[in-house]
Each structure stands twice: as structure tokens, then as C-alpha cells.
Amino acid sequence: MSGFGYHKVSADDAPTKGTLGPLYGWSHGEIRAWAMVQKGLLSASLDGIFYNFDDKKNPNLNGQSSIYQVVGSLGYQATTNLKISGDLSYGDDSLFKKQVMGLLRGEYRFTSTSKGGRK
């Protein structure tokens, strides 16, 4: 499975709370692409997100007009009720440059019935 999307957000200039300073816009374009594959007990996915802001002078962006993040995930269905997976993320935004994050996850399904319990 795979997908692609583009969104355009038009956000009017808004003052920062409690200030009378200049107005800065948050309008931006978002491009997102993802792919996922499942083969037997293994699953993998890759997701990429890119934002491009219109107001290049917005001080909240710390001089950056674009930010991005890429997330890769691998999973293994150990048993019918237990899945183990992990994510690795790499991105660049207005606060953190070359940021790497990881997540290890265990999912346990307490019941294997498909339609709720007995009455």
C-alpha cells in the first residue's frame, strides 16, 4: 500500500498572545508520502512529511522556511496476540536540527475473538 497527499493551509496573520508586535502568518503547504508492506509475520512502513511555510520572516521558525520528518517502522507478529514493533524517526524543525528519535513498542491483544465476549 502507498499514498501521497498535498495540503495547503491558509492561516491569516495572527498576533502573538499578549503582544502588540508585528503579525506573522502560519500559511504553509504540506506534502506527505507513505508506503507500507506486510509479508507473512513481518510489516514495514516508511512515512515522509515536508512543510513549506509562506512567511519566511516569522521569528517562531528560527530562520527556517521548511521542516521535514521521515519515519521508518518494522514490526513482527510474534503470536496471534502479541506484536512487537519499532520506529526510527529523523527530522529537522525550527527547534531541533538533525533530530533522531526511536520507539520500541509491544502490543498485546487480551482476547482473540472477533466479535466481543459471550452474553
Residue 49 lies in a domain: yes
pLDDT score recorded for residue 18: 65
Q: What's the mean pLDDT in 14-25?
A: 66
Q: Examine the pLDDT at 46 and tell me if it is beyond 90.
A: yes
The whole-number average pLDDT for the span 11-32 is 74
Q: What is the pTM of this model?
A: 0.73
List the CATH number of the domain containing 78: 2.20.200
Contact 86, 104 (CB under 8 A): yes
Task: Report whether pLDDT(10) > 70.
Answer: yes
Assess contact for 76 and 104: CB atoms under 8 A: no
Residue 18 counted as domain residue: no
* Structural domain span for residue 55: 37-109
The residue written with cell numbers 521569528 in the block is 59
**Residue range 24-41, pLDDT digits in tens:** 777 889 999 999 999 999
Query: How many domains, in total, are found in the chain?
Result: 1
Task: Give a yes or no: residue 51 inside a domain.
Answer: yes
- Let me know if residue 56 belongs to a domain: yes
The yes-or-no verdict on residue 64 having pLDDT over 70 is: yes
Confirm whether 119 is domain-assigned: no
Q: Has residue 80 got a pLDDT over 80? A: yes
Q: Which residues contact 116 (CB under 8 A, 6 or more apart)?
A: none
Residue at 50 is within a domain = yes
